[in-house]
Amino acid sequence: MAIATEKNIYDRQYLQKLREEITAFVDANVKPNVKINDVDGFFPRESINALGKAGWNSILFDESLKGLDLGYTGFVIVTEEIAKADASTGLVYAMHIAASEKIYIYGTEDQKKRWLLPVRDEGKITTFAISEKATGGHVWYNLSRAIQDGDEYILNFEKSFTTSGGEADFYVAQTGTANTTEPSAQSYFIVAGQQEGIIAKPWKALGVRGNQSGPLVFKNIRVHKRDLLDATPEDIYQNSAAIIGLNAVWLGVAQAALDAAIDHVKKTENKGFHNSLADHQILRVKLAEVAIRIKSSRAWLLDIARHLDELKEAGKPLTEATHEINELKVQVTELADFAARTAMDVAGGYGYHVSIFEKLYRDARGGIPMAPSNNIALDQIGKGLVGLPIELWEKGK
Ligand SMILES: Cc1cc2nc3c(=O)[nH]c(=O)nc-3n(C[C@H](O)[C@H](O)[C@H](O)COP(=O)(O)OP(=O)(O)OC[C@H]3O[C@@H](n4cnc5c(N)ncnc54)[C@H](O)[C@@H]3O)c2cc1C
Q: How far is the CA of 138 from the centre of ligand 1 (A)?
A: 7
Q: How far is the CA of 389 from the centre of ligand 1 (A)?
A: 21
235-386 placed in CATH 3.90.1300.10: no
Q: How far is the CA of 136 from the centre of ligand 1 (A)?
A: 5
| Sequence letter at residue 227 | D
Tens-place pLDDT, residues 260-317: 999 999 999 999 999 999 999 999 999 999 999 999 999 999 999 999 999 999 999 8
Atom of ligand 1 nearest to the CA of 91: 3
Atom of ligand 1 nearest to the CA of 133: 26
- The answer on pLDDT for 397 being more than 70 is no
Q: List, as own/partner pairs, every contact residues 228-231 make where C-beta atoms lie below 8 angstroms and the sequence separation is at least 24, other chains included.
A: 228/153, 228/187, 228/188, 228/189, 229/102, 229/103, 229/106, 229/107, 229/111, 229/172, 229/187, 229/188, 229/189, 229/190, 230/106, 230/107, 230/108, 231/102, 231/106, 231/187, 231/188
Domain limits, the chain: 12-123, 129-233, 235-386
Atom of ligand 1 nearest to the CA of 373: 47
Q: What number is the average pLDDT over the span 42-49?
A: 97
**Taking each helix axis from N to C terminus, what angle separates 374-386 and 322-346, rounded to the nearest 10 degrees?**
130
- The percent of the chain in helix, strand and coil, each rounded to the nearest 5, is 55, 10, 30
**Top-tier CATH class for 12-123:** mainly alpha
Q: How far is the CA of 23 from the centre of ligand 1 (A)?
A: 31
Atom of ligand 1 nearest to the CA of 391: 41
Minimal-distance CA residue to ligand 1 atom 22: 137
| Most informative mutation of 174, 189, 365, 373 for ligand 1 (most atoms within 8 A of CB) | 373
pLDDT at 176: 96
**Topology match between the domains 12-123 and 129-233:** no
Name the CA dihedral angle for 63, 5, 23, 350, rounded to a multiple of 10 degrees: 120
Atom of ligand 1 nearest to the CA of 129: 11
Q: What number is the average pLDDT over the span 187-200?
A: 96
Q: What number is the average pLDDT over the span 30-41?
A: 91
Please choose, from the candidates 287, 201, 184, 191, the residue with its C-alpha nearest in 3D space to the C-alpha of residue 238.
184
**Taking each helix axis from N to C terminus, what angle separates 322-346 and 356-364, rounded to the nearest 10 degrees?**
150
Q: How far is the CA of 128 from the centre of ligand 1 (A)?
A: 14
Comparison of pLDDT for 37 and 142, the residue scoring more: 142
- The answer on pLDDT for 367 being more than 50 is yes
Q: What number is the average pLDDT over the span 316-326?
A: 91
Mean pLDDT score across all residues of the chain: 95
Provide, rounded to the nearest whole percent, the portion of the chain with pLDDT above 90.
90
Measure the CA–CA gap between 365 and 363, rounded to whole angstroms. Answer: 6
Instruction: Write the secondary structure of 265-280 as one string of H (helix), E (strand) and C (coil).
Output: HHHCEECCCCEEHHHC
Q: What number is the average pLDDT over the span 370-376?
A: 97
- The answer on pLDDT for 58 being more than 70 is yes
pLDDT at 2: 46
Task: Provide DSSP, 128-141.
Answer: EE---TTTTT-TT-
pLDDT at 79: 98
pLDDT at 228: 98
Band (33; pLDDT cuts 50, 70, 90): very high
pLDDT at 1: 42
pLDDT at 5: 59
Residues having CB within 6 Å of any atom of ligand 1: 95, 127-131, 133, 136-137, 139, 159-163, 208, 213, 366, 369-371, 373, 375-376, 379
Tens-place pLDDT, residues 114-133: 999 999 999 999 999 999 99
Tens-place pLDDT, residues 141-193: 999 999 999 999 999 999 999 999 999 999 999 999 999 999 999 999 999 99
Minimal-distance CA residue to ligand 1 atom 42: 376
- The answer on pLDDT for 25 being more than 70 is yes
Fold type of domain 129-233 = Butyryl-CoA Dehydrogenase, subunit A; domain 2 (2.40.110)
**Taking each helix axis from N to C terminus, what angle separates 240-267 and 281-313, rounded to the nearest 10 degrees?**
160
Atom of ligand 1 nearest to the CA of 95: 8
Minimal-distance CA residue to ligand 1 atom 11: 130
Band (204; pLDDT cuts 50, 70, 90): very high
Q: How far is the CA of 260 from the centre of ligand 1 (A)?
A: 29
pLDDT at 395: 58
| Most informative mutation of 93, 216, 237, 375 for ligand 1 (most atoms within 8 A of CB) | 375
Q: How far is the CA of 331 from the centre of ligand 1 (A)?
A: 17
Q: How far is the CA of 158 from the centre of ligand 1 (A)?
A: 15
